[in-house]
Amino acid sequence: MSDADFKADPSIYTAVDPAAPVDAEAERPVGGIAAGLAGAEQASFVAPRPLRADVWRRFRKNRLAMAGLIFLGLLVLVAIFAPWIAPYGFDERSAGAFREGPSMDHWFGTDTIGLDVFSRVVYGARISLKVGFVATIMAVIIGLVLGAIAGFTGGRTDNLIMRFTDIFLAIPYIILAIAVATIFGQSVNSVILVLGLTGWLGICRIVRASFLALSRLEYVEAARALGFGKTRIIFRHMLPNALQPIIVYATIGIGSIILAEAALSFLGVGPVFPTPAWGLMVSEAKSTLAVAPHMLFFPGMAIFLTVLSFVFIGDGLRDALDPKLK
């Protein structure tokens, strides 16, 4: 509209009095927006659920994982209270009770020299759990340090650590076990040393792969740009985001180490008699399988159930820690 039109008919514009009252209905937001704002003001704040609670909720839904956790809890209690649970000492012989089957006096029977199989299985839980947990902790520490250095640093350092890992992969752990047993003697500690020194290879590769992927992310680049030290970046910014595969692998790895300890004991390079190692008990029973199968069955079942429980727990943790699952 031109100025000429306004001059011809100034009534087309309506003057607005600043002092006039404002129409509340006209100023009210449109219905949907008003309702949304009112609902937002009246809605109660719901705090986000903690991550650990969410992981535990998903873990509980896995029945096999819960069964493995319950069995492991009972096994730990058996190992702790072994002197009060076992009716006999692990090296206490019963006169005249040689290769007897299960009975009220000997729940799992006796072996060739009158030792109570149930008592030895109970005490053997201590050895298997000790080897499994201590060797796994040792392997995780070695693998975590080397894998983090390789993945974070890259270049020649990464290549050197990976070639060192390849050399260890080519060495059968049975040969290393024989060498350690020759130097330090056959004992539980020798088995822990061997399995700890050979169990870090898989963890090292997992940590390296995780750190290689994380080192390219923006928040790591930002931490570097801000001048943070390598130690701070690794342990405060990268390691927490790489823990998921480490936890899962280590949990399943405990079962693998227990199985490896049984294999070493069976082959005669682990603890020696009268140490109540499950693998050693299986080795002692192989020559009497036809006449005394209970000597093989009960320690064999102890190994089987223990390893299986760790596998179930590891699978449950993998599913519970997966952020893609709800």
Taking the C-alpha atoms of residue 70 and residue 63, their distance in angstroms, rounded to an integer, is: 10
Looking at residue 199, its pLDDT comes to 86
Question: What's the pLDDT band for 179 if we cut at 50, 70, 90?
Answer: confident
Task: Identify the residue with better confidence: 204 or 10.
Answer: 204
Question: What's the pLDDT band for 171 if we cut at 50, 70, 90?
Answer: confident
pLDDT digits (tens, 9 = 90+) for 12-61: 444 445 444 544 444 444 444 444 434 434 433 334 445 677 778 888 88
Give domain status of residue 39, yes or no: no
CB 303 within 8 A of CB 278: yes
Give domain status of residue 36, yes or no: no
Give domain status of residue 168, yes or no: yes
Residue 272, exposed/middle/buried by CB under 10 A (0-12, 13-18, 19+)? middle
pLDDT over 90 at 136, yes or no: yes
CB 292 within 8 A of CB 226: no
Q: Which residues contact residue 29 at a Cβ distance below 8 angstroms, ignoring those fewer than 6 apart?
A: 37
pLDDT digits (tens, 9 = 90+) for 59-75: 888 899 999 999 999 99
Q: What is the DSSP string of 65-130?
A: HHHHHHHHHHHHHHHHTHHHH-SS-TT-B-TT--S--S-SSSTT-B-TTSBBHHHHHHHHHHHHHH
Domain count, the chain: 1
Question: What's the pLDDT band for 109 if we cut at 50, 70, 90?
Answer: confident
Looking at residue 38, its pLDDT comes to 44
Taking the C-alpha atoms of residue 191 and residue 53, their distance in angstroms, rounded to an integer, is: 37
Residue 208 DSSP one-character state = H
pLDDT digits (tens, 9 = 90+) for 226-241: 777 777 777 777 777 7
Average pLDDT, the chain: 80
Give domain status of residue 45, yes or no: no
Give domain status of residue 38, yes or no: no
Mean pLDDT of 282-294: 86
Taking the C-alpha atoms of residue 297 and residue 281, their distance in angstroms, rounded to an integer, is: 10
Percentage of the chain modeled with pLDDT above 90: 25
Question: What's the pLDDT band for 306 if we cut at 50, 70, 90?
Answer: very high
Q: What is the DSSP string of 214-256?
A: HTTSHHHHHHHHTT--HHHIIIIIIHHHHHHHHHHHHHHHHHH
Looking at residue 41, its pLDDT comes to 41
Looking at residue 31, its pLDDT comes to 45
Give domain status of residue 5, yes or no: no
Q: What CATH number did the domain enclosing 67 receive?
A: 1.10.3720.10
Looking at residue 12, its pLDDT comes to 47
Give domain status of residue 184, yes or no: yes
Domain limits at 120? Answer: 52-321
Give domain status of residue 282, yes or no: yes
Residue 262 backbone zone (phi > 0: left; psi -120 to 50: alpha; other: beta)? alpha
Q: Which residues contact residue 71 at a Cβ distance below 8 angstroms, ignoring those fewer than 6 apart?
A: 305, 306, 309
Omega prior to 274 cis, within 30 of 0: yes
Question: What's the pLDDT band for 312 if we cut at 50, 70, 90?
Answer: very high
**Which amino acid would we find at residue 169?**
L
pLDDT digits (tens, 9 = 90+) for 185-230: 888 888 898 898 888 888 999 888 888 888 777 777 787 777 777 7
Evaluated on CA atoms 234, 235, 236, 241, the torsion sign reads positive
Please give the structure tokens belonging to residue 18: 């600043």
- Closest residue by Cα to residue 121 from 111, 134, 131, 135: 111
Looking at residue 126, its pLDDT comes to 93
Taking the C-alpha atoms of residue 223 and residue 114, their distance in angstroms, rounded to an integer, is: 66
Give the predicted TM-score (pTM) of the model.
0.78
Tracing tokens 């088995």 back to the chain, one arrives at 191
Looking at residue 324, its pLDDT comes to 63
